[in-house]
Structure 1
Amino acid sequence: MNASDRTPADLLRSALAADPARPLVTFYDDATGERVELSVATFANWVAKTANLLQGDLAAAPGDRLALLLPAHWQSAVWLLACHSVGVVAEVGGDPAGADLVVAGPDALDAARACSGERVALALRPLGGRFPQPPAGFQDYAVEVPSQGDRFAPFAPVDPEEPALAVGGAELTAADLVERARADAEALGLEPGSRLLSALPYDSWEGLARGLYAPLASGGSVVLCRNLGQLADGGLEKRIESERVTHRAV
């Protein structure tokens, strides 16, 4: 990654320039058997589409606060980078009643209705599938995002010194986030090409760093596992071998 990168969106752009074809996020849900692998290029395309949805259709602007009510999931990672691309503050597990807009999974829809702004629902079904019946009062992400543009340009430059992420009672600027991600990557021994397996939830900095930011900052990749406890005996060792995992956080 480039030393001049000061926002998470910068980190993604540098990863795209360096090697767009390498894996960035490999996601497993052991409750459904789902496996999704996103290269840097594919992940960046999802981020661009989601950022266009956020900035365009949802009219989000830098400084707006988005309550992100999603588990550790590849689509959650996409939403985080989309927020960073626009300059929206991603409040992980934030209070919808105090947010400008909310993005929620199927288990958080009731809580998300407290938001008076735009509401987006994610079914979190395999292959990014939509809801069989769209939840009342929400836009279905899987319906809205495919038609968005594949390239994104923010209406205003993202200020690295402005807030970017709120999690676990702490708020980080974009520059703080990049600095901490680099420090965590170094502490974990991550290098370009490292493969970090994480089964940590996205409700803390530790989970976010290991499940997204540290691998991104180091030029590595993450094998993100949800419902790992439902994996059969011996399955974790087989996954570590098949995915060429070099580091783990479980």
Structure 2
Amino acid sequence: MNASDRTPADLLRSALAADPARPMVTFYDDATGERVELSVATFANWVAKTANLLQGDLAAEPGDRLALLLPAHWQSAVWLLACSSVGVVAEVQGDPAAADLVVTGPDTLEAARACRGERIALALRPMGGRFPQPPEGFADYAVEVPGQGDRFAPFAPVDPDAPALTVDGVSFTSAQLVARAREDGAALGLGAGSRLLSGRTYDTWDGLSAGLFAPLATGGSVVLCRHLGKLGEDGLAQRVESERVTRSV
């Protein structure tokens, strides 16, 4: 990664320039058996499309607050980087009533209705599938995002010293987030090519760091596991071996 990177979007651009074909996020849902692997290039493409949706169709601007009501999931990681690309503040499990727009999964639709701005719903189905029937009052992410552009350019440069993320009552600017992610990566012994397996949730900084930001900041990748407790010790050992995991948390 480049020392000059000061936003998560910067980190992703550096990863894309260094090795677009390497894995970025490998996602497992051990309640459904789902496995999805995204290379840096594929992940960056999803981020670009989502950022275009956010900036264009949803008219989000730098400083707007987005309540992100999603679990640890590869699509949640995409939204976090899309927010960084636009300059939108991602408020993880934030109050929809106080947010400018909301992004929700299927289990938090009722809470998300409190948002008076734009509402996006994700079915969180395998391979990014859509809802069988779009929830009333929400745009279906899986319907809206495919037609978005594959390249993204912000209307205004993202300020590294502006607010970027709030999680569990703690707020970070982009620069603070990147610095903290680098520190966490170093503490975990991560480096280029590292494979970090995380079963942590996304509702704390430690979960976000292990499940996305620390591997991204250090040139590694993440094996992100939802419902990991269902796997069992033997299954976990097999996953560590098959995914070439170098560190687990």
TM-score range for the pair, normalised by the shorter chain length: over 0.9
The 5-angstrom pairing of residues 102-121 of structure 1 reads: 102-121=102-121
Structure 2 runs not aligned, ≥5 long: none
Match of 1:9 in 2: 9
Once residues 225 and 88 of structure 2 are traced to their aligned partners in structure 1, the CA distance between those partners, rounded to angstroms, is 26
**Residue deviations 1:200-250 (CA, integer Å, cap 9, x gap):** 00000000000000000000000000011111451000000000000001x
Q: Does 1:191 align with 2:158?
A: no
* Residue aligning to 1:29: 29
Q: Which residue of 1 aligns with 2:174?
A: 174
Q: What residue is the counterpart of 1:222 in the other structure? A: 222
Cα displacement (A) at 1:49: 0.1
**What is the rounded CA distance, in whole Å, between the counterparts of 2:231 and 2:176 in structure 1?**
36
In structure 1, the residue corresponding to 2:42 is in which secondary structure?
helix
Aligned to 1:248: 248
The two structures have a TM-score, normalised by structure 2, of 0.99
Deviations 1:4-25 (A, max 9, x none): 0000000000000000000000
Runs of 4+ more than 2 Å apart: none
Whole-angstrom CA distance in 1 between matches of 2:140 and 2:164: 24
Q: Partner amino acid for 1:201? A: T
Deviations 1:17-62 (A, max 9, x none): 0000000000000111100000000000000000000000000000
**Greater shift in the superposed pair: 115-124 or 229-238:** 229-238
Return 5+ residue gaps in structure 1 as ranges.
none
1:81 matched to 2:81: yes
Q: Structure 1 CA distance, aligned partners of 2:232 and 2:127?
A: 23
Partner Cα separation in structure 1 for residue 108 and residue 5 of structure 2: 34
TM-score (norm 1): 0.99
2:19 aligned partner = 19
| Root-mean-square deviation over aligned CA pairs | 0.5
Is the partner of 1:234 in helix, strand or coil?
A: helix
Q: Distance in 2 between matches of 1:232 and 1:123?
A: 27
User: Equivalents in 2 of 1:186, 1:43: separation in Å?
Assistant: 23
% identical aligned pairs: 80
How many angstroms apart in 2 are the aligned matches of 1:165 and 1:128?
A: 24
1:50 maps to which residue?
Answer: 50
Residue number in structure 1 paired with 2:160: 160
The match for 1:144 is 144
In 2, Cα distance between the equivalents of 1:215 and 1:47? 17
For residues 228 and 4 of structure 1, the distance between their equivalents in structure 2, rounded to whole angstroms, comes to: 36
Partner-residue secondary structure (3-state), 1:77? helix
